[in-house]
C-alpha cells in the first residue's frame, strides 16, 4: 500500500443515525473529489493507485464506505428472496435518497464549500441523487456505469440477472474473481485479477456482515426516475459507460447524458461493468477534465 494511505487514518463522520467511515488523501487546498463505490463494495475498491493518480493531478480525494458496507453503520432488515429478486421488488430498509443524504452529510463535514462527486454503478445512482437533492454541495458530477432510473434504459441482461441466483463458490475471493470475469471488461489482465485477490481479503476483514448488499439491492429495486431532476442540474457533468456493460446496458449512460444539460458522454470500447486498469486513463482524464471545467467556471 502507498505510504500516503499508510498515513491516512480511517475517520468517522456521523450523519444522522449513520456513521460513515472514510479516508482523505491530498492537499486541503486542492479541489475535493468524493468517490462513491458500487453495490456491496467498500471504499478499498477505489484502488489506492487510482486515488493517488488523482492526488498527483492536484485533487484532494475522499473515499468512503456506504452505509451497510465496510466499517460504516450496518443496518438490520430483510434481504430479497430469490423470487423477489426475479420480480425486482423487495421490502425496502432505506432508499437511494437516504444514501444520497449520507453522502451530502459527509461532504458537509469534509468539504463544506462543496465537492466534485464521482459514482460508479450503484454509486452513480447515489451521485446523481446527491447532485439533484443537494445542488449547493455539488461542484461537478461524474456518473460511471449509471442510468437515470426511468425503467427503460440501462436494463440488466437476463443472463446477468440469472447469474445472481447461482450458488457462490466456497471461497469468497474466488467468487469475486469469477464475478468480475462474468461482468468485467474484455481483456482483463493478471493485474486486474491480482487487484481482486489483494483487495477482497482486506475488504472481508473490514466487515463482519455480508447482508448489506441485499438491502442495497432492495434500494435499487425501488429507484425512482431521476430524469427530471437531472434536467435541472447546472453543473459540469461527465457520463462514462462501457459498450460491453451487461449489468447496466450502455443505453443507461446515453440516457443519463441526454438528460443532463451540456453533459459530456464518453463511451469506452470493450469496457464492461468494472474499472479494469486498461481503462483507468480514460476515466482519470475524464474526472480531471470535469473538475477543471467546474473550477474554471467557479473562478470566472
pLDDT tens digits along 226-271: 999 999 999 999 999 999 999 999 999 999 999 999 999 999 999 9
Using the 8-state DSSP alphabet, how is residue 67 labeled? Answer: T
Percent of the chain with pLDDT strictly greater than 70 = 95
Residue 163 has a pLDDT of: 66
pLDDT of residue 251: 98
Question: What is the enclosing helix (H) or strand (E) of 24?
Answer: strand 18-25
* pLDDT value for 86: 83
Q: Which residues, 6 or more positions from 173, have their beta carbon under 8 angstroms from its beta carbon? A: 196, 197, 200, 201
The number of residues making up the chain comes to 300
Whole-number Å distance between alpha carbons of 57 and 22: 21
Question: What is the pTM for the complete model shown?
Answer: 0.95
pLDDT at residue 164 in the model: 60
The answer to whether residues 124 and 145 touch, using CB atoms and an 8 Å cutoff, is: yes
DSSP 151: S
- Mean pLDDT computed over 135-156: 97
Q: What is the DSSP letter of 110?
A: H
**Measured distance CA(31)–CA(54) in Å, rounded:** 11
Helix (H) or strand (E) holding 201: helix 190-205
List Cβ neighbours of 157 (8 Å cut-off, separation of 6 or more): 246, 247, 249
State how far the Cα of 140 lies from the Cα of 127, in Å rounded to an integer: 10
Domain of residue 286, residue span: 3-299
b or e along 200-215 (b: 16 or more beta carbons within 10 Å of the residue's beta carbon)? beebeebbeeeebbbb
Least confident of 31-35, 62-66, 157-161, 203-207: 157-161
Helix (H, G, I), strand (E, B) or coil at 237: strand
Q: Please give the average per-residue pLDDT across 126-138, as a whole number.
A: 98
- In the chain, DSSP finds a helix count (H) and a strand count (E) of 12, 8
What would the mean pLDDT of 270-279 be, rounded to a whole number? Answer: 97
Report pLDDT for 50: 98
CATH number at residue 213: 3.40.50.1820
Residue 116, CA distances (Å) to 52, 148, 157, 175, 288 in order: 16, 19, 31, 33, 10
Tell me what the mean pLDDT of segment 42-55 comes to.
98
pLDDT at res. 96? 98
Are 17 and 68 in contact by the 8 Å Cβ rule? The answer is no
| Count of structural domains, the chain | 1
Q: How confident is the model at residue 1 (pLDDT cuts 50, 70, 90)?
A: very low
**Does the pLDDT at position 225 exceed 50?**
yes
How large is the C-alpha radius of gyration of the chain? Answer: 18
> Which one-letter DSSP state was computed for residue 170?
S
Amino acid at each position: 500500500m502507498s505510504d500516503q494511505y499508510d498515513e491516512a487514518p480511517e475517520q468517522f463522520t456521523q450523519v444522522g443515525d449513520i456513521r460513515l467511515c472514510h479516508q482523505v488523501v491530498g492537499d486541503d487546498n486542492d479541489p475535493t473529489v468524493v468517490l462513491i463505490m458500487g453495490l456491496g463494495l467498500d471504499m478499498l475498491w477505489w484502488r489506492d493507485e487510482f486515488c493517488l493518480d488523482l492526488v498527483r493531478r492536484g485533487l484532494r480525494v475522499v473515499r468512503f464506505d456506504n452505509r451497510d458496507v465496510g466499517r460504516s453503520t450496518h443496518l438490520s432488515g430483510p434481504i430479497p428472496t430469490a423470487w423477489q429478486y426475479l420480480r425486482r421488488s423487495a421490502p425496502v430498509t432505506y432508499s437511494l435518497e437516504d444514501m444520497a443524504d449520507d453522502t451530502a452529510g459527509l461532504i458537509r463535514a469534509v468539504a463544506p464549500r462543496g465537492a466534485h462527486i464521482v459514482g460508479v454503478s450503484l454509486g452513480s445512482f447515489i451521485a446523481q441523487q446527491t447532485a439533484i437533492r443537494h445542488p449547493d454541495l455539488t461542484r461537478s458530477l461524474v456518473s460511471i456505469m449509471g442510468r437515470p432510473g426511468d425503467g427503460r434504459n440501462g436494463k440488466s441482461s437476463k443472463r446477468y440477472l440469472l447469474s445472481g441466483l447461482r450458488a457462490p463458490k466456497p471461497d469468497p475471493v474466488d467468487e469475486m474473481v469469477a464475478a468480475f470475469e462474468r461482468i468485467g471488461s474484455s481483456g482483463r489482465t493478471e493485474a486486474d485479477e491480482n487487484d481482486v485477490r489483494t483487495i477482497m481479503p482486506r475488504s472481508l476483514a473490514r466487515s463482519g456482515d455480508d447482508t448489506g448488499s441485499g438491502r442495497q439491492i432492495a434500494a435499487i429495486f425501488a429507484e425512482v426516475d431521476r430524469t427530471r431532476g437531472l434536467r435541472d442540474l447546472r453543473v459540469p457533468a461527465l457520463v462514462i459507460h462501457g459498450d460491453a456493460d451487461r449489468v447496466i446496458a450502455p443505453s443507461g449512460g446515453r440516457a443519463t447524458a441526454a438528460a443532463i444539460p451540456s453533459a459530456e458522454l464518453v463511451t469506452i470500447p470493450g469496457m464492461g461493468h468494472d474499472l479494469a486498469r486498461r481503462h483507468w486513463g480514460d476515466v482519470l482524464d475524464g474526472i480531471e477534465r470535469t473538475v477543471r471545467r467546474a473550477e474554471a467556471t467557479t473562478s470566472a
